[in-house]
Structure 1
Amino acid sequence: MNLPLLAVSIYWDLPVLLVVVSLVYAATRHDRWDKIIHEATGWGLRITLFLVGIGVVLYLLSTYL
């Protein structure tokens, strides 16, 4: 029995995890919501760029080696 709705990839959870981790980290450093959102946006961008960079490196290594 093939249930495509239950066969969801774990990668759909990645954006939610990025948002939650960024918000929690920012909330530990600031008390005001405007500062929290600003800091969380910056951290979310940094984490995303870091993960994309790792993905590109791994893709290049698997393609050319």
Structure 2
Amino acid sequence: MNLFAVSIYWDLPVLLVVVSIVYSATRHDRWDRIFREAFRWGTQIAGFLALVGVGLYLLSTYL
């Protein structure tokens, strides 16, 4: 496996954190609310991506 092909997946957690903080900052003014909303939103997105990943893995394995 090529090291450069795998390295793009290291950007996903960074991108998830940055997008969730920026999205939360557009809706709230206080830092405690921004971080609370960013954590909630980030966990929902991470859960959704994990669910999609498991679904695609199961489809590729059993079909």
Q: How high is the TM-score relative to the length of structure 2?
A: 0.91
Q: Which residue is equivalent to 1:42? A: 40
> CA–CA distance in 2 between the matches of 1:10 and 1:50?
19
Q: Note the C-alpha offset of 1:32.
A: 0.2
Residue 22 of structure 1 is aligned with which of 4, 20, 23? 20
- Bigger radius of gyration, 1 or 2? 1
Aligned sequence identity (%): 72
Report the 3-state secondary structure (helix = DSSP H, G, I; strand = E; otherwise coil) of the residue aligned with 1:58.
Answer: helix
Q: CA RMSD in A?
A: 1.0
Q: How many residues align?
A: 60
Point out where structure 1 has 5 or more consecutive residues left out of the alignment: none
Q: Which residue is equivalent to 2:49? A: 51
* Runs of 4+ with deviation above 3 angstroms: none
Answer 1 or 2: which has greater helix percent.
2
Q: How high is the TM-score relative to the length of structure 1?
A: 0.88
Q: Note the C-alpha offset of 1:9.
A: 1.5
Q: Note the C-alpha offset of 1:59.
A: 0.3
